[in-house]
Chain A
Amino acid sequence: MNSRANTHPLGGAILKCAYLMGTLVLILLCAAADAGASVDARDYPGAAWSPYFVGVAIGVLAWLTFYFSDERIGASSFYAQLAGFLGKVVTPRHTESLAYFKDKPPRVSWEFVFVIAVIIGGAIGALTGGEFANEWLSPMWVARFGDSIALRAMIAFPGGLLMAFGARLAGGCTSGHGISGTLQLNLGSWISVICFFIGGIVVAIPLFKW
């Protein structure tokens, strides 16, 4: 099959992606040029509980989700399902024509409910530990980039956008690949999670250290 002929209508989309990336790099450079002194993450509050205790508990939780729900822990599909629901409201026919939604029709799945419950679980954890933040900006962000919420939004939104695109392409996120896939010794999950960290380190170090 000649795939080259099929890529033609997408040339524009790829160009737009390139523009988006270019704009992003510019915003990044501006942000970094404006940045304050280099900061150390360890100067800010850490975890309430031991990472080993939490890790053991998540490992056991993985057994339980496999055994009782026949599902693996994952998070990123939640956002794809939300996108699908919104798409079905705005442009139902177009949404149904897209290859991804043909394979995985948006639905209220186990994972959808799971992630909504994660939000509530996070709230319970914070409230029981006196850690409810109620803030738009992390103190570490403010120390580096100042107190503009707009600047944070300009970095966070494209960050989320790239992350979801990457997760869908790679087939999972830090939960689906990073915990569930790796613990099943899935080759693709180990490749993906190593790339998650390489990509993250390459972006975070200039952002915070230069």
Chain B
Amino acid sequence: MIDPGKSVQQSAKKPEPVAALPKLITGALFGLVFGFLLQKGGVGKYNVLIGQLLLQDWTVVKIMLTAIVVGMLGIFPLHHFAKVNLHIEPTRVGANIIGGLIFGAGFGLLGYCPGTAAVALGQGSWDALFGMAGLIAGSWIFAELSGWTKRTIETWGDLGKVLLPDLLPVPRGVFVVGFALALTVILMLLQQFTTR
């Protein structure tokens, strides 16, 4: 187990080809739980995922928004008291939008996303294998073009690390509470107006 006091100090050394064993063990444990929960949540099922994109079955959005509300109400206090690091990817508006739309188009075709394809494979939905092969191929194609995307798309609207609270003149804590409340209202409306 990694000492949480020390975890807030980022290490700068080059990563080893295989991560330290205690860390891999935590990864395996948390992965088991995540896969189990996603399966029980129904999001390994093709019809549940496609149902969300057809705006018929709102399971995916309900799980995501609930996880976001609960997650943020824990992560921000923990970070405030220096117990955890934040893991923020830089905001690159061009790459986020173009990459996001391409991802979405692929999601619509495959009907599983990268994590839920793993769950689908585990639950015996073998068509996920075609998608996983595609995911490996697509990752390779991106790597081939990565020199080019780095010079072009990834420079379009490169804002660095930006959090939503940075956009408004309110303290972070106030924003977190307000945003959690707003998402909760959306969840209550979804519960009211959707059948699944």
Name the one of A47, A107, A170, A196 contacting B15, with C-beta atoms under 8 angstroms.
A107
5 contacts between A and B (CB under 8 A): A120-B35, A126-B122, A159-B107, A179-B71, A192-B103
B58 to chain A, nearest CB (A): 8
CA distance A159 to B53 in the complex (A): 14
In the complex the two chains form, is A132's CB within 8 Å of B124's CB? yes
In the complex the two chains form, is A171's CB within 8 Å of B92's CB? yes
Given contacts A66-B75, A183-B75, A192-B100, contact A164 B108 (CB under 8 A): no
Query: What 0/1 readout, one digit per residue, does chain A (126-156) give for beta carbons within 8 Å of chain B?
Result: 1001011111111111000000010011011
B40 to chain A, nearest CB (A): 4
In the complex the two chains form, is A118's CB within 8 Å of B38's CB? yes
In the complex the two chains form, is A166's CB within 8 Å of B100's CB? yes
Q: Please, which residues of chain A bring their CB within 8 A of the CB of B115?
A: 75-76, 115, 118, 173-175
In the complex the two chains form, is B123's CB within 8 Å of A168's CB? no
Given contacts A46-B42, A82-B139, A108-B18, contact A118 B31 (CB under 8 A): yes
In the complex the two chains form, is A7's CB within 8 Å of B103's CB? no
Query: What 0/1 readout, one digit per residue, does chain A (153-190) give for beta carbons within 8 Å of chain B?
Result: 10111111111111111111111111111111111111
Given contacts A55-B70, A108-B24, A187-B163, contact A192 B99 (CB under 8 A): yes
Interface extent on B, as a size class? 35 or more
Residue ranges of B at the interface with A (Cβ–Cβ < 8 Å): 1-2, 4, 7, 15-19, 23-24, 26-48, 50-57, 59, 62-75, 78, 83-93, 95-111, 113-127, 130-155, 159, 161-167, 175-176, 179, 187, 195-196
In the complex the two chains form, is B114's CB within 8 Å of A42's CB? no
A36 to chain B, nearest CB (A): 15
Where chain B touches its partner, the secondary structure class is: helix
In the complex the two chains form, is B30's CB within 8 Å of A199's CB? no
In the complex the two chains form, is B127's CB within 8 Å of A156's CB? yes
Of A40, A48, A117, most B-chain CB atoms within 10 Å: A117
Of A84, A132, A171, A177, most B-chain CB atoms within 10 Å: A171
CA distance A184 to B130 in the complex (A): 32
In the complex the two chains form, is B139's CB within 8 Å of A188's CB? no
Is there a chain B Cβ closer than 8 Å to A61's Cβ?
yes
Name the one of B18, B65, B165 contacting A107, with C-beta atoms under 8 angstroms.
B18
Q: Which of A47-91 contact B (CB under 8 A)?
A: 47-49, 51-52, 54-73, 75-76, 78-80, 82-84, 86-87
In the complex the two chains form, is A199's CB within 8 Å of B75's CB? no
